[in-house]
Amino acid sequence: MIGVLIMPKKENIIVQGTEIAVLVNKQDDYISLTDMAKHKNPDATGLVISHWLSTRYTVEFMGVWEKFNNPNFNVTEFSNIRNESGGYGNVLTSKQWIEKTNAIGIIAKPGRYGGTYAHSDIAFEFATWLSAEFKYYLISEFKRLKSLEHQQQALEWNLQRTLSKVNYRIHTDAIKENLIPPKLTAGQINHIYATEADVLNMALFGMTAKQWRDGNKGKKGNIRDYANISQLVCLSNMESLNAQLINDGIPQAERLKKLNLTAIKQMQILSQDNTVRKLTAKNKKTDKDE
């Protein structure tokens, strides 16, 4: 099911000299039909969109798209509109389509991002109606935009992973100064480091490093290498917090409780942040592709 646009990020692409706005939200991209219509008639964009919406083929395609992506689609009203489509003098506006059918594939936005927008699936169909050449360049520019987004997301994930590793060094230094008694063997020291690392693992992931390895045989790396953006941000904060708690002499069991509550609170906040959700989803897709 397609998500609802909440606080979308606005990007712009240039297609045959026309600037076209793209609203990006999670994995759903909505392209401005208003801007696209300027390619045909810059003085009557609303009329251009209405003429396209009024064709029989467009109505049928829109109906199929909504049935697959919108559980609240009003099928009864859709049937009425389809029966009237293509008739002489019949004109269907985007506002009428949305209000009568509860459609989500097309949205009308006032204000800053004002205009009529459509999900990329639908926008490409509109482009076909405008011009085959225009559609080709639109798809090319849209692919270029998505490629740039993918590169930026990969960079941000790597930066977060690097930050996590730097903070972990601060964390292990605090362990060395406050928890490791003198004259321990290397094995004993390593055991303490592993134990403290698992304090963070348990607080955030609900399992130790060994438990993760036992349940993910064949995977390379460790549990943190498979963390998403939200988890990495939270982990960085927890490493710094745990280092401070260690310096303050807080017992491990008490620190684990505090860290777990912190992880729960921060993950609740991060899960509601649209930008982080989008990066997390994209990162999961990247992992699958690799």
pLDDT for the residue 4? 46
The predicted model scores a pTM of 0.51
pLDDT for the residue 8? 63
**3-state DSSP helix/strand/coil % of the chain, to nearest 5:** 65, 10, 25
Model pLDDT for residues 156-185, shown as the tens digit of each residue: 666 666 666 656 665 666 656 654 445 656
HSE (CB half, 13 Å, CA atoms) of 237? Answer: 19
- Intervals of the chain under pLDDT 70: 1-8, 26-27, 87-89, 111-113, 150-194, 270-290
* Whether 286 contacts 230, CB under 8 Å: no
> Cα angle at 195 between 191 and 196, to 5 degrees?
120
DSSP for 174-202 reads: HHHHHT--TT--HHHHHHHHHHHHHHHHH
Find tokens 């790597």 and name the residue: 158
Rounded to an integer, what distance in angstroms lies between the CA atom of residue 95 and that of residue 71? 19
pLDDT for the residue 106? 94
